[in-house]
Structure formats: structure tokens, C-alpha cells
A = this chain, B = another copy of it.
Amino acid sequence: MSLLVVGTVAFDAIQTPFGKTDKIVGGAATYICLSTSIFTKNINLVSVVGDDFPKEDIKTLNAKGVNTKGLQIKKGEKTFFWSGKYHNNMNSRDTIETQLNVLEDFDPIVPNEFKKSEYLMLGNLMPSVQKRVLDQMDKKPKLIVLDTMNFWMDHFMDDLKDALKNVDVLTINDEEARQLSEEYSLLQASKKILDMGPKYLIIKKGEHGAFLFSKDQVFFSPALPLESVLDPTGAGDSFAGGFVGYLAKTKNVSFENMKRAVLYATVMASFTVEKFGTENLKMITKEEIDCRLKHLKDMSQIS
């Protein structure tokens, strides 16, 4: 079993009603890798940073089982930087600043030894870049999961729809599902989106839980009610990482197993939002995760 993760490795500066951070390490692929590393240690990363990116953070990823041979380090260039501010309800945010830097002309190169990866997680990135990774694979992976966001729908909808044709699982939030499908009802939206290519659709609703749809089945997991949420950044990426990590570990991509994967995904996201950045994700243990999973099952299952 091997898992290829593609996405940004970045610097973030985050403000929430509960505090703010200086430049800290973030990026979709960082969250995804840290989250998957709970489940598997055979993770291949394809991404890009500038030479301002701290070596010790790469070593942290390596120590978690992440092979960074596909992480391009661009000499004399700067790492992608995003700065944002969350509103009071934490459900929406404003981007304060985006510096694309190395992302501007990122050409993802999949090392030969990564081309046979059985699981592929395409983290949030320009759809044409996601597609270029897909095209480099030696054979179709056992499962391809793609995460995206409204920005790409606004500006690159055709590229996104092109990428979606080759994807097994799409993960988006409720607003994005409505935008992509032009349907308000999430049930109607799921039908339209599943006609675009993906066999499965995950619609994340933040504190309101997550749906997993196939053509003829639906599953829902509530989010865990938390005492406090400090920083929602990376919640969706941690969710996706937990989802694909659990499936890769258990080598079972049935709908029934995807239900369990959604529960683990929910647990991973719940830890992420309780601290700023990747702080919690780097520290949590398998025991803490299993304990919270039990709590999630207790609150959603009847005997």
C-alpha cells in the first residue's frame, strides 16, 4: 500500500476571534500528510516550497512517514503564503493576503517510484495541476480522491469539470456543492455532481457534520460538539487525510468501509480545529483518536 498526496505546503498567518499566529507552517498537503500519518507510514508527497521553508519542518514530515522526494525546493524563491481572518461565527473568513510565489508556475513532477501509488489524494490546488498529476500515474490508482474549493469554480470551472471525470471521490463543502451543481437541495446537488464523474461525493458541513453520497446510498456523520474551536484552518484537509488514510490502511474501498472512514475523518478534523495550525495534529496519539471515535459512535449509533 502506498499513498500519493499532492497539494500545497505553505506558510499561513491566521486570525480568529480567539487569537492570531505569526507565519506558521500550513498548506493542504501538510494537513493531509499529518492526518494520514496516523493510519499509514507509506506516504509520498508531491509539492513545492521555496528555500525559505524550514528544513526541520520537512524532517517532521519525514519522521511521520512522509517521503518528500517529490517536494521541489526552489532556490531563491519563496514559499506560498496565505493570510486570513475568520469572522465571529468561524464559518466564514476573509483572505487578507495571498502570495502565490512558487505556486505561480508549479509543475508537479511525480517521481518514478511514486507513479505506482495505489491511493491518490489530490489536495486543493489548481485543477489543471491536479490533472497533470493524474496523467503521470503509471496505472489508475485504486482510489483517487480530489479536494477543491470555490475559487477554482469561480475561475477554472471547465478545468475542474475535466479533472472530475477521472476521480473516484470528490470532497467539497455545502456551499461549493451548491455552486458546482447549481442546486440548493444537497440531495439534488449530489445527483448532479455524481453525474459529472465522481462515484462518491463527500459534502462537508463544518460543525454540522458531513454527508457521503454514492448513486444509491447516503451516509451522514455528525461533527463532534466541541467545548471550543480555536482555528478552523485545515479542518477539511485533515478530514480528507483521515478519510483516505483509513481507506489506505484497511485496503477496502467499499461504501460500508467509507462510512467508517468518514467517522475517522470527522475525528481528525475535530482535533485540528481545537488548536491553531497543525499543533494538535502533530501531537495526537492513536489512543486519543480511538477514544474520540468511540464518543462519536456513542452519539450517533443506536442499539
Contact = CB atoms under 8 A, between A and B. Distances in A.
Given A185-B226, A185-B227, A219 B299 contact: yes
Given A260-B302, A302-B259, A303-B256, A209 B222 contact: yes
B222 A222 contact: yes
A218 B299 contact: yes
A186, A256, A299: which has the most chain B beta carbons within 10 Å?
A299
A185 B225 CA distance: 8
A205 interface: yes
A119 B227 CA distance: 33
A271 interface: no
Interface residues of A, number: 30
Nearest to A184: B89
Contact of A225 (B187, B228, B297): B187
Contacts of A188: 227
Nearest to A213: B225
A299 B186 CA distance: 14
A220 B263 CA distance: 14
A148 B123 CA distance: 45
Interface in A269-303: 297-303
Interface in A194-231: 205, 208-209, 211, 217-220, 222, 225-229
Contacts of A300: 219-220, 300-301
A280 to B, nearest CB: 17
Contacts of A260: 302
Given A208-B205, A218-B225, A222-B220, A302 B263 contact: yes
B211 A208 contact: no
A263 B301 CA distance: 11
Contacts of A219: 299-300, 302
A256 B256 CA distance: 24
A220 B296 CA distance: 9
Contacts of A205: 208
Interface in A217-270: 217-220, 222, 225-229, 256, 259-260, 263
Contacts of A186: 225
Given A185-B225, A301-B302, 17 more contacts: A185-B228, A187-B225, A187-B227, A188-B227, A190-B225, A208-B208, A209-B222, A218-B225, A218-B298, A218-B299, A219-B299, A220-B222, A220-B299, A222-B222, A263-B302, A300-B300, A300-B301
Interface of A: 185-188, 190, 205, 208-209, 211, 217-220, 222, 225-229, 256, 259-260, 263, 297-303
17 contacts: A185-B225, A185-B227, A185-B229, A187-B225, A208-B208, A218-B225, A218-B298, A218-B299, A219-B300, A220-B222, A222-B222, A259-B302, A297-B302, A300-B300, A300-B301, A301-B301, A301-B302
